[in-house]
Amino acid sequence: MDINRGDYMDPFGKYNSIISARATDKRILKKSQDGGIVSAVFIYGLENGLLDGVIVADKGEKFKPVPKVATTPEEVIEAAGTKYTVCPNISLLKSAVREYGCDRIGVVGTPCQIISTKKAIKYPVGFRHLTDKIALTVGIFCMENFPYNGMKTVVEELCGIRLEDVVKVDIGKGKFWVYTKWGETKSVKLKETHPYEQIACHVCTDYTAELADISTGSVGSPDGWSSVFLRTKKGEEIINKMVDEGYLETKPIDEGKFGLGILKKLALTKKEKNLKEIEYRKELGLPVPIIE
């Protein structure tokens, strides 16, 4: 489907199936945001020769994410967990090949990062001998992101927690949650975090990473599980193998209000809200991504 216009009432884009799943590896579940799907897929890929390097968002100091080419399961686990701020993963696309010598790369990214990757594959102007080495793209659901200083404001000023003490950040049940290494939990209503969002996110209408091989996120599945869209043959193959070999446990997605219902609602909310913003910017004469 067309990402920014046309049949936008299609909430999820093309996919073959959607399931609820979680990793079986306890090491992953201990560190993962929800079901640990991204980590499990990458570790499975690395251990079974399907991938030889994966671009992930590693944790830097003060909860600042740093893009990293991970080549071992340990590095993948180290980087597990969502970072609610911008991490330019795609900036490592070339290093993964040139410096790390990878030729079967896995890329995880927000919907916009998957779009960038797909554009690089289709129009590889600056990517010599690279695009055939992108073996798998894993997209994560995304409503919007926070610039680092925006996230910092939410965590430090609204929640009153120093970033160096944060072990996990989460969004769920209408709130932004912060967990500290002292075992404390603070939260703030999502509504109060809106002023600190990255405004550039408001021209994006892709909630479920519609161009990825696999897309995943917590919405639509119970706590500790993730919803997973299998979109391409490639994505389907790897997930099926993982299920067969016991790397993932799965269950059918809840098709009711708290399953597919909420997922659909959020996906459509993003599309409607941001299409309005796109129209508004056009009226002002501001540029928006040109889609021909």
Partner 1 sequence: MVTVAYVQLSGCCGCLISLSDTYEKLIDILNSIDLVYCQTLADAREIPNADIIMVEGAVCLDDHHAMEVAKEVREKGKILVALGACSAIGGITRFCKGGQMPKPVQGSFSALSEVVKCDLAVPGCPPSPELIVNVIIAVLNGDMEYLSPFAKYAESTSTSCGCDLITNVINKSLCMGCGVCTSSCPTRAIEMIEGRPLVSSELCIKCGVCSFQCPRIELPKGVCQLDEE
Contact positions vs partner 1 (CB under 8 A): 1-4, 13-14, 67, 85-95, 109-110, 112-113, 115-120, 122-132, 145, 147-149, 198-201, 203-204, 210-211, 231-234, 286-292
| 6 vs 160 by CB, closer to partner 1 | 6
Radius of gyration (C-alpha) of the chain in whole angstroms: 18
Q: What is the spatial distance between Cα 280 and Cα 91, in angstroms, rounded to a whole number?
A: 30
CA atoms within 13 A on the CB side of 98: 8
Q: What is the spatial distance between Cα 76 and Cα 74, in angstroms, rounded to a whole number?
A: 5
Q: What is the spatial distance between Cα 61 and Cα 48, in angstroms, rounded to a whole number?
A: 32
| 123 vs 258 by CB, closer to partner 1 | 123
Q: List residues bridging with 187 in a β-sheet.
A: 177
| 126 vs 195 by CB, closer to partner 1 | 126
Q: Beta-carbon neighbour count of residue 268 at 10 Å?
A: 17
Question: What minimum distance in Å lies between the beta carbon of 281 and partner 1?
Answer: 8
Question: What minimum distance in Å lies between the beta carbon of 86 and partner 1?
Answer: 3
Question: What minimum distance in Å lies between the beta carbon of 223 and partner 1?
Answer: 29
| 34 vs 144 by CB, closer to partner 1 | 144
Q: What is the spatial distance between Cα 68 and Cα 262, in angstroms, rounded to a whole number?
A: 33
Q: Which two tokens stand for residue 197?
A: 């969002």
Q: What is the spatial distance between Cα 106 and Cα 122, in angstroms, rounded to a whole number?
A: 17
| 65 vs 73 by CB, closer to partner 1 | 65
Question: What minimum distance in Å lies between the beta carbon of 23 and partner 1?
Answer: 25
Question: What minimum distance in Å lies between the beta carbon of 109 and partner 1?
Answer: 7
